[in-house]
């Protein structure tokens, strides 16, 4: 089989009803739901399948919920013996990437994302009047450095040349929005509880760093491409540093994808709710194939595609 990477989405990929078709079809998925509900004292069936949306999207709820669905989707492939050459996750998705590569067990991954979500939401509420602004362009976005300098905002996520997320105080983001729209781009405020992936989140990152000190992380069996450094990491210390840094440093998703393609990756499998990462990668390199698994239908289709790709590689 051609060289592949499993990708796991993060916050923003959620939707009410996610995971239900897999829950209905597989005992091991139901077991994961029950285990997660017990560990975190939350009813994940109710949260994921019924919401409502405003409850599901709360940072302290949604991070654990997405991680659970990511794991459930991943295990439908893992039980078929399908393993990637490497893994990557978009922000929150890094935790599932670390689970999939053996660095974290299920319990630690869930407890970590629950703690992360609480720290991020609490500090975001403490800051007040700060958030994120998505910049969208039909053409490549240019001049973002000048916008950041003049408006006193910071790049939080660099998804590709057509979508960049800025973070900072709301008044500064309003100035940035006006500037980018005068440049011909679109500015969309995001419904999040804080200026994630910017220096304003450093206190939350410091708390996470302390918490990670007592967590048992093992050497990853396969590399995980880190959001903030784009390095392929396997060492527990590097992993702990990355999980701290990604709270207050920018997610360099475009650079991560380009590095993986340069290393010989020819197709990706997005594993988890939605197809957000499919769209982002298509704007980085439209020639790379991206599959996805989020329910029974996409699982069956992706399994067939993987069989076809495997047969092509052997021919």
CA 258 to chain centre: 17
Q: Write the DSSP assignment of 153-189 as a string of letters.
A: -EEEEEEETTEEEEEEEHHHHHHHHHHHHHTT-EEEE
The closest of 222, 223, 229 to 245, measured between CA atoms, is 229
Rounded-to-10 torsion of CA 231, 233, 235, 238: 50
The phi and psi torsions of 291 (rounded to 5 degrees) equal -100, 170
- Here the tokens at position 68 are 């659970």
Instruction: Give the C-alpha separation, 51 to 84, whole Å.
Output: 32
Annotated catalytic residue: which of 4, 90, 154, 197? 197
Is 310 an annotated catalytic residue? no
Annotated catalytic residue: which of 13, 91, 134, 193? 91
> Order of strands across the sheet with 186-189?
154-160, 163-169, 130-136, 186-189
Give, as one character, the DSSP assignment of residue 45: H
CA angle 95, 101, 102 (to 5 degrees): 90
CA 243 to chain centre: 12
Is 4 an annotated catalytic residue? no
Answer yes or no: are the C-beta atoms of 3 and 85 closer than 8 Å: yes
Instruction: Give the C-alpha separation, 276 to 303, whole Å.
Output: 20
Instruction: Give the C-alpha separation, 270 to 144, whole Å.
Output: 28
Catalytic residues: 91, 197
């Amino acid at each position: 089989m051609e060289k592949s990477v499993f990708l796991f989405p993060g916050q923003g990929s959620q939707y009410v009803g996610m995971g239900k078709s897999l829950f209905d079809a597989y005992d091991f998925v139901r077991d994961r739901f029950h285990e997660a509900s017990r560990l975190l004292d939350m009813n994940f069936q109710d949260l994921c399948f019924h919401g409502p949306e405003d409850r599901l999207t709360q940072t302290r709820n949604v991070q654990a919920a997405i991680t659970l669905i990511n794991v459930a989707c991943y295990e439908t492939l893992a039980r078929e013996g399908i393993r990637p050459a490497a893994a990557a996750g978009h922000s929150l998705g890094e935790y599932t990437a670390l689970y999939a590569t053996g660095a974290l067990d299920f319990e630690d991954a869930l407890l970590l994302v629950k703690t992360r979500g609480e720290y991020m939401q609490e500090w975001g509420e403490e800051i007040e009047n700060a958030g994120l602004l998505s910049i969208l362009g039909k053409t490549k976005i240019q001049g973002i450095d000048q916008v950041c300098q003049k408006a006193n905002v910071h790049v939080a996520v660099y998804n590709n040349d057509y979508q960049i997320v800025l973070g900072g105080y709301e008044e500064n983001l309003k100035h940035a929005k006006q500037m980018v729209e005068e440049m011909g781009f679109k500015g969309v405020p995001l419904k999040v509880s804080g200026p994630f992936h910017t220096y304003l989140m450093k206190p939350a990152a410091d708390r996470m760093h302390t918490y990670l000190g007592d967590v048992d992380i093992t050497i990853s069996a396969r590399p995980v491409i880190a959001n903030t450094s784009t390095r392929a990491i396997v060492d527990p210390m590097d992993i702990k540093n990355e999980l701290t840094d990604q709270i207050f440093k920018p997610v360099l998703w475009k650079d991560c994808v380009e590095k993986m393609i340069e290393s010989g990756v020819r197709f990706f499998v997005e594993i988890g709710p939605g197809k957000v990462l499919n769209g982002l990668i298509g704007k980085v390199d439209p020639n790379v194939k991206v599959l996805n698994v989020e329910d029974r239908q996409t699982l069956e289709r992706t399994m067939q595609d993987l069989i076809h790709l495997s047969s092509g590689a052997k021919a």
